[in-house]
Amino acid sequence: MRRTFHWLTLAAICLATLAPQLVRAERLKDLTTIAGVRQNQLSGYGIVVGLDGSGDQTTQTPFTVQSIVSMLQAKGVNLPPGTTLQLKNVAAVMVTASLPAFAQPGQTIDITVSSIGNAKSLRGGTLIMTPLQGADNQVYAMAQGNVLVGGVGAAAAGSQVQINHLSVGKISGGATVERAVASSLGENNQIRLEMNTTDFSTVSRVVEAINNHFGPGIATALDGRVIRVLSPSSSDQRVAFLGILESLEVNPARQAAKVIMNARTGSVVMNQSVTLETCAISHGNLSITIGADNQVSQPGPLGAGQTAPTQNASVEIKKDPGKVLLVKGGASLAEVVKAMNAIGASPQDLLSILQALKAAGSLRADLEII
């Protein structure tokens, strides 16, 4: 009985391996975004204090001194004219954050603090109250708190050891939202779904799935990326409607065949739609090795000659035998990779081979070089 179970299990595994892979349905939440529901970037200029001698060198970063003087004047401290500040525990920083959609005053968000001077480390510093502005120059949040740096460093007698980055830190919940961003969600009782990528086939399938679930005429395709969807007028009903809408599953159209090549690193990435026409590929390597053997010429006993160094150069040319490989038409991605490995192609060689295949019309894919 146990042996029969093992045979049945093995047969099921083989059938699952040999069966064609079906297109997996994806949620609309993963394929689209809702127009107007987005993050907004915030930034601000601030000062980090309390550093242990690792702050900006004020002779090279005068803006740090100017910021301290302005801050002290705002606090009611007036320095005598001609006063020269030698600061070591202060650093000028840029503070950045992302304001989530529908964020309300009083909520907290995470911030990133980055040095803009020549501070050696922000470890142990405290960010002074910094206003964070949006693209419209309006203040949307106020930031302040202790900077957490995920690194450590030490230096002594000319030796230095550093782990990770010391000039950038984070403050969890370091900014408090002071102003909400107005949202036009549900205006005119409609919303717009924006596809992550332009694809007319997938857009038509999304429209069909929405209309099949909610009724005809609810969704209308505007172009290959945007879909207009009628929504309820009540906010409660609209939220429930969007929750159901995001959970709908759609089988996206097959991706366009594309090969991405990075000429600087030699990286090559191909999706599963890449195929080849019938072609023959030949590949061979030519290597030249030049070496030098240094020796000393020593004259014989009682000879009139002198000891002198000599150099014997050697040049070796080696050409690996080229291999010609036939690839049948309609080859899949696995067969393409197998063919490239069979002829011993390195990543750099693969760049040239794929370009030659595209020029010859044998590569069924768009070739993009980044």
pLDDT one-digit tens code per residue, 11-40: 333 433 333 444 567 889 899 999 988 899
What's the pLDDT score for residue 319?
Answer: 58
Residues 78 and 119 in one domain: yes
Q: Which of 142, 177, 212 is the last residue of a domain?
A: 177
Distance CA 229, CA 215 (A): 11
Residues 188 and 216 in one domain: yes
- pLDDT tens digits for range 244-279: 999 999 988 877 788 888 877 777 788 877 777 777
- What is the per-residue pLDDT for 261? 80
User: In one letter, which amino acid is 266?
Assistant: G
Query: In Å, what is the CA distance from 263 to each residue of 133, 338, 368?
Result: 39, 22, 10
Total domains in the chain come to 3
pLDDT of 90 > 90? The answer is yes
**Domain assignment of residue 330, yes or no:** yes
Query: Are 228 and 274 within one domain?
Result: no
Whether residues 170 and 63 share a domain: the answer is: yes
The share of the chain scoring above pLDDT 90, in percent, equals 36
Is 1 inside a domain boundary?
A: no
55-78: per-residue pLDDT in tens? 888 778 888 888 888 888 888 888
Residues 218 and 199 placed together within one structural domain of the fold: yes
In a domain, 336, yes or no: yes
Per the structure, the complete domain to which residue 341 belongs is given by: 258-289+311-369
* 297 lies in some domain: no
Window from 31-35, 55-59, 88-92, 226-230 with minimum mean pLDDT: 55-59
Residue 227 and residue 120 share a domain? no
Separation of alpha carbons 133 and 63, rounded Å: 20
Residue 31 located in a structural domain: no
Q: What is the pTM of this model?
A: 0.68
State the Cα angle at 102 between 98 and 107, rounded to 5°.
70
Residue where a domain terminates, one of 234, 250, 266: 250
Strand pairing of 152-156 and 159-163?
Answer: antiparallel
Is the pLDDT at 7 greater than 60? The verdict is no
Q: Is residue 65 domain-resident?
A: yes
Instruction: Assess whether 339 and 357 both reside in one domain.
Output: yes
Q: Are residues 117 and 237 in the same domain?
A: no
Residues 363, 266 within the same domain? yes
Same domain, 243 and 347: no
State the chain's mean pLDDT as an integer.
80
DSSP letter assigned to residue 95: E
Domain assignment of residue 96, yes or no = yes
pLDDT at 248: 92
Residues 69 and 140 in one domain: yes
| Count of helices and strands (H, E) across the chain | 7, 23
Whether 138 and 60 map to the same domain: the answer is: yes
